[in-house]
């Protein structure tokens, strides 16, 4: 007997999408709706109202602990969008999503939001382990309550999370190092710009820097790498400091920003200086894409952040509804985005 899962597989859509078509709910494109309807008709599929009613009696809760986003930290908008989109697809199966957001520069905010989260008695927890010491405290609490948890975006080792979804930060930094070395001549200088002081506590960034430096050193490439740590709270001061540094050291031909703030930084560099620079950063935020289109940013490395949020909801829903154990690691792609291919990237995120 054919099931909703079989129809979803044949149509190459999610089970939630099939359910929406069956119950004539919004949120499905006309093209997808017609494709699913043809398969339903082909197999003469009928829903079982009794089974549906029983399914709705059982409610499951997935709780998210993720960073807030704002104009300077817009990256986290996209996983949040993915979570919201997936929520629409699983709600009819009795899966409830709760999001708790914290200040990514404030470890106390991280702990405070977790305290709120745990009071809601979730069935599983998805968290972005931004702060290592505090994550130890949080995971001990989860384990004492026998609550399954997974990490999203940042992969800390030595914990009992049963899955991770996100990019391999070290390898993405390694790729960035290769791109920089292909762009620069030897005997030049590259500037790595960090935008937070507690870099050792922010694993994804530190791993990207490690991978970048390892590519240069392991290939014996004669490029000097300088480091600069800045505070984006005072952009006028950063602009002056950065342009003075570029003026004093004109051998700097590459700028590596191991975060989504590359667009903010490229905007601070004077036009007469930026023409000679090869700037590489991460993530396809609106400002970063504009930098590509204006030729102020050479490469962006993206990880499909929208999909991290979206896929994590579906993965955890499958676990709760069907006891399907997810893979230990679900890696996001390491995609190199340039001016010429950016318009074809992540159409689902833009349309949503």
Q: What are the structural domain ranges in the chain?
A: 4-53, 58-166+304-332, 169-302
Query: Three-class SS string for 52-85?
Result: HHHHHHCCEEEEEEEECCCCCCHHHHHHHHHHHH
* Equal fold, 58-166+304-332 vs 169-302: yes
Place of tokens 């985005």: 337
Model pLDDT, residue 50: 45
Q: Specify the fold of 169-302.
A: Rossmann fold (3.40.50)
The class that CATH gives domain 58-166+304-332 is: alpha beta
- CB neighbours of residue 228 within 10 Å: 15
295 to each of 180, 254, 268, 300, 343, how far by Cα in Å?
16, 14, 14, 12, 15
Candidates 199, 194, 184; CA nearest to 226 is: 194
Model pLDDT, residue 20: 80
CATH number attached to the domain at 4-53: 1.10.260.40
Model pLDDT, residue 279: 97
Model pLDDT, residue 200: 47
pTM exceeds cut of 0.85? no
**266, containing H or E segment:** helix 262-268
Tokens linked to 89: 């697809």
Phi, psi of 124 (to 5 degrees): -145, 160
Model pLDDT, residue 41: 84
Candidates 254, 195, 266; CA nearest to 224 is: 254
Give the whole-angstrom CA distance, residue 310 versus residue 331: 14
Place of tokens 């998210």: 64
Tokens linked to 80: 């949040």
Could you tell me which residues come within 8 angstroms of residue 228 by beta carbon, excluding any fewer than 6 positions away?
191, 192, 193, 194, 242, 245
**What's the burial of 58, exposed, middle or buried (CB within 10 Å: 0-12/13-18/19+)?**
exposed
Q: Within 13 Å and on the Cβ side, how many CA atoms surround 156?
A: 22
Are the beta carbons of 223 and 212 closer than 8 angstroms?
no
Residue pLDDT tens, the chain, 352 long: 577 888 888 889 888 788 788 877 777 888 888 998 898 888 887 765 545 544 556 789 999 999 998 876 788 999 999 999 998 888 878 899 999 999 988 999 999 999 999 999 999 999 999 888 899 999 999 999 999 999 999 888 899 999 999 999 999 999 999 999 999 988 899 999 998 655 545 778 889 999 999 999 999 888 999 999 888 888 999 999 999 999 999 999 999 999 989 999 999 999 999 989 999 999 998 899 999 999 999 999 998 889 999 999 999 999 998 888 999 999 999 999 999 998 877 554 555 4
Q: Are strands 60-67 and 95-102 parallel, antiparallel or unpaired?
A: parallel
Give the whole-angstrom CA distance, residue 284 versus residue 305: 9
Are the beta carbons of 47 and 35 closer than 8 angstroms?
no
- CB neighbours of residue 328 within 10 Å: 10
Model pLDDT, residue 114: 97
């Amino acid at each position: 007997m054919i099931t909703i899962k079989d129809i979803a597989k044949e149509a190459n859509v999610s089970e939630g999408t099939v359910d929406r078509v069956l119950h004539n709910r919004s949120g499905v494109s006309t093209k997808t709706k017609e494709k699913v309807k043809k398969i339903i008709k082909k197999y003469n599929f009928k829903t079982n109202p009794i089974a549906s009613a029983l399914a709705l009696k059982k409610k499951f809760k997935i709780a998210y602990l993720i960073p807030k986003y704002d104009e300077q930290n817009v990256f986290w908008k996209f996983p949040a969008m993915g979570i919201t989109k997936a929520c629409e697809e699983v709600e009819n199966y009795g899966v409830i999503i709760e999001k708790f957001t914290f200040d990514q520069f404030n470890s106390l905010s991280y702990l405070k939001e977790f305290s709120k989260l745990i009071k809601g008695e979730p069935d599983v927890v998805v968290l972005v382990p931004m702060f290592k010491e505090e994550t130890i405290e949080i995971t001990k609490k989860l384990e004492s309550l026998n609550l399954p948890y997974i990490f999203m975006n940042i992969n800390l080792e030595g914990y009992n999370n049963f899955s991770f979804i996100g990019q391999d930060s070290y390898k993405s930094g390694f790729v960035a190092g290769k791109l920089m070395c292909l762009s620069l001549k030897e005997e030049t200088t590259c500037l790595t710009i960090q935008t937070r002081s507690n870099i050792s506590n922010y694993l994804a960034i530190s791993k990207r820097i490690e991978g970048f430096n390892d590519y240069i050193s392991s290939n014996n490439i004669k490029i000097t790498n300088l480091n600069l740590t800045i505070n984006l709270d005072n952009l006028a001061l950063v602009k002056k400091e950065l342009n003075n540094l570029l003026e004093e050291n004109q051998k700097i031909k590459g700028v590596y920003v191991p975060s989504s703030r590359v667009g903010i930084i490229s905007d601070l560099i004077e036009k007469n200086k930026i023409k000679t620079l090869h700037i590489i950063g991460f993530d396809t935020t609106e400002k970063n894409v504009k930098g590509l289109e204006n030729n102020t940013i050479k490469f962006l490395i993206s990880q499909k952040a929208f999909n991290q949020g979206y896929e994590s909801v579906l993965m955890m829903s499958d676990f709760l509804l069907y006891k399907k154990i997810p893979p230990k690691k679900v890696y996001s792609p390491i995609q190199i985005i340039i001016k010429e291919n950016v318009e074809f990237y992540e159409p689902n995120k833009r349309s949503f």
